[in-house]
A = this chain, B = another copy of it.
């Protein structure tokens, strides 16, 4: 593959960095394309050269985040449920401000769906004993719910404690009778 023109890389970087700080600072709903481009010091037209709208931009960034997490999961493939859950919670703890902004926004439904899909996909690779769609969705939704409370600081205890407990609950739920 031939390398990308450095102007494209610069424009995208400026847009994404500005978007991220605005997301954490003001929240997704407050963001306008106009302000992104003003702060990023680029023409508004340039934004539309790379992204359809702010939802498309968010989608791109979420994709990057989930790819990051996927790589981490890949590296720790052999981890058990407890350890694996800790890895997840650590990642979300690390990007708390980012996910907090998305969880508290009213117009990021797509983000929640993608997150659930991601979790189901990852957990599906772990729960190989049974091919049980209901079980998979049950567990994934549960973890996603806890993850949201966790990001919203609604849970007591440190990251590892919470993650361990969730890991244990998952094990118990999955275990055959």
Select from chain B the residue with minimum beta-carbon distance to A42.
B6
In angstroms, how far is the closest chain B Cβ from the Cβ of A47?
Answer: 14
Chain A residue total in the interface (Cβ 8 A): 5
Select from chain B the residue with minimum beta-carbon distance to A10.
B41
Contact residues of A between 72 and 115, Cβ < 8 Å to B:
none
Chain B positions within 8 Å of A6 at CB level: 41-43
User: In whole angstroms, what is the CA distance A41 to B9 when docked?
Assistant: 11
User: In whole angstroms, what is the CA distance A43 to B43 when docked?
Assistant: 21
Chain B positions within 8 Å of A42 at CB level: 6
Select from chain B the residue with minimum beta-carbon distance to A9.
B41
User: In whole angstroms, what is the CA distance A121 to B64 when docked?
Assistant: 59
User: In whole angstroms, what is the CA distance A55 to B6 when docked?
Assistant: 27
User: In whole angstroms, what is the CA distance A107 to B10 when docked?
Assistant: 34
Chain B positions within 8 Å of A41 at CB level: 6, 10
In angstroms, how far is the closest chain B Cβ from the Cβ of A54?
Answer: 22
User: Which A residues have a C-beta under 8 Å from some C-beta of B?
Assistant: 6, 10, 41-43
4 residue pairs A–B, Cβ–Cβ below 8 Å: A6-B41, A6-B42, A6-B43, A10-B41
